[in-house]
Chains A and B, each alone.
Chain A
Amino acid sequence: MQIRREDVDHVADLARLSLSEEEREKMTRELNSILGHVDKLNELKTDGVQPTFHVLASLKNVTRKDEVIHGLDRDRALQNAPSQKSGCFAVPKTVE
């Protein structure tokens, strides 16, 4: 698979990244190199091999009891918010 400049732009847009002309070049090059490397895996014969759905294959069914424990006080929760108002995180308006 070949990564084109448009693909880089699309992914950057989805990730809300603003890339300079230079960075776009660099990303296109590097992503292709990474994919090329990963492509090597396709040479392996994997017939009959179970897919690895999760990296921690031996760890399963980790759950906790349904119990309420108080988390953060509101002041603490909001302390790193760039902007806050009325006990809420204030963000640029999202509907027109």
Chain B
Amino acid sequence: MKDNLPRKRMVNVGMGILGVVISLDGLTMPFRSHEMTTIPVHHLLHSGMAAGAGLLAMALAANLPRRDRERGGWVLPAVLAPVAGLALMWPSEYAYLMGHHWLHFLDHLGIALCSLLAVFAAQAYVRGLGWPTLVYQHLERSQQSGHPAAGDG
């Protein structure tokens, strides 16, 4: 049991670092890439960034004290944050955002924060619910690739 503790901590730190790297890559993308991709590819990139933010959330939630009871206040953010995150993936605005890097950055920041909040909140509500939320969210965003905008090239 004692041997497992440092290993768990190492896994958490590794997961957190991986999450930060993926999230930072997604957040800084608007300043590094100025080419318009297709909407499905753009949404796939968002889903990758959301997964990174989710990993970071799981690493952060590992520090929450163990508790057998529900933390009921966390349910609403766990359910509503993905709604807000999806609303930020408004396909018809991408062309405008591609020309305004800071706005695009803020959009990515919002998507990443929504993912982070949803996964952290689910894990905070009841330990163990963070992982399914992370996977569901990742699938949700990647599935939005079936959502082409008018004039999607």
Do A and B associate with each other? no
Q: Which residues of A contact B (CB under 8 A)?
A: none
